[in-house]
Amino acid sequence: MMSATPSVAPASSGPNAQGQPDCARTAALAALRESDPATKAAAARALYAAALAGSAACSAHLELDEPAGLPGRPERPELVDPRQLKRRSMQSPQGRAVLLHALAHIEFNAINLALDAVWRFAGMPAAFYTDWLKVAAEEAYHFSLLAARLAQYGHAYGDFPAHDGLWDMCERTRADVLARMALVPRTLEARGLDASPPIRARLLQAGDQASAAILDVILRDEIGHVLIGNRWFRHLCEASGLDAHETYTRLADQYHAPKLRGPFNFEARRDAGFDEAELAALASLDAQQPVPPTGSA
């Protein structure tokens, strides 16, 4: 079980003692270090609001030292190998609670991923930091929705084991903003666009309209998050004179990204900024997938 990082003060959302806006990148690092999920979520939302209001500004030139113990997280859930996590039927309340917990864990990690992009990568345009502060705030909202729904099932975040796959890719790409944009939003988060419709359908089949409605909110926002990743990936490729398609393939191999598997949500991926060549390549992958036997789960 992971040890908890000591709770830190929430990110400031107002001018400092000199009347100047606080640095949102420093505040993002403070929020990332926060171990209490509810406090972290509130800090992320407050920080984005402060950035919009002009009471927090990003100092792009600032080089920040990485503290030990990132990211801040609670002692629970226990983090285990993904192969130890068993799939449960959504026909039972317990099975739906396990699913909601898994989704809440993804959103908690997504808060951390967005905050990490804000503090870690110096020298980016101001819009880069605003974009990822927005993502952090929306992921925090998703986490809050799922935590509240989980409570209606009599459970809380931390009640079930989880895995650390999302943060593992964050660690691998810590020194390369181009790889981060390629492999976190465009790969790992884009997989959520594909997974959402079948999960929503299973929830509706089980009669859980309230949880399905939360997935509608998440899918809507996640399309925007992947679009942000696509935008900055292409911006960085163009700035370095790199071909985006070739660069993505190279980075996916270099950083051992998960292999893409269908079925793919082509409509959502198109809305999220994947171009027609990328969608055609996914369609080819989809066609190569074996068709499951009739009646299989």
DSSP string, the chain: -PPPPPP-PPPP-S--TTSSPEEHHHHHHHHHH---HHHHHHHHHHHHHHHHHTSEE--TT--PPPPSSPSP--S-SPB--GGG-----TTSHHHHHHHHHHHHHHHHHHHHHHHHHHHH-TT--HHHHHHHHHHHHHHHHHHHHHHHHHHHTT--TTSS-B--HHHHHHHHTTT-HHHHHHHIIIIIIHHHHHHHHHHHHHHHHTT-HHHHHHHHHHHHHHHHHHHHHHHHHHHHHHHTT--HHHHHHHHHHHTTPPPP-S---HHHHHHTT--HHHHHHHHHHHHHSPPPPTT--
Task: Please tell me the pTM assigned to this model.
Answer: 0.89
- Low-confidence stretches of the chain (pLDDT < 70) are 1-21, 289-297
Taking the C-alpha atoms of residue 292 and residue 200, their distance in angstroms, rounded to an integer, is 20
Q: Backbone phi, then psi, for 56, in 5-degree steps? A: -140, 130
Angstrom distances, CA of residue 142 to CA of 107, 138, 218? 6, 6, 6
Q: What is the DSSP letter of 295?
A: T
pLDDT of 21 = 64
Q: Which two tokens stand for residue 196?
A: 């959402």
Residues in Cβ contact with 159 at an 8 Å cutoff, skipping those fewer than 6 apart:
76, 77, 97, 101
Q: What spatial distance separates the first Cα and last Cα of the chain, rounded to whole Å?
A: 32
pLDDT of 86 = 74
Which among 128, 130, 132, 160 has a CA at the least distance from the CA of 146? 160
Taking the C-alpha atoms of residue 32 and residue 113, their distance in angstroms, rounded to an integer, is 9
Contact status, residue 96 vs residue 208, Cβ threshold 8 Å: yes
Contact status, residue 214 vs residue 203, Cβ threshold 8 Å: no
Taking the C-alpha atoms of residue 4 and residue 247, their distance in angstroms, rounded to an integer, is 37
pLDDT of 285 = 85
pLDDT tens across 156-186, in order?
Answer: 999 999 988 788 999 999 999 999 999 999 9
- The class level of CATH for 78-288 reads mainly alpha
Q: What is the DSSP letter of 84?
A: G
pLDDT tens across 202-231, in order?
Answer: 999 999 999 999 999 999 999 999 999 999
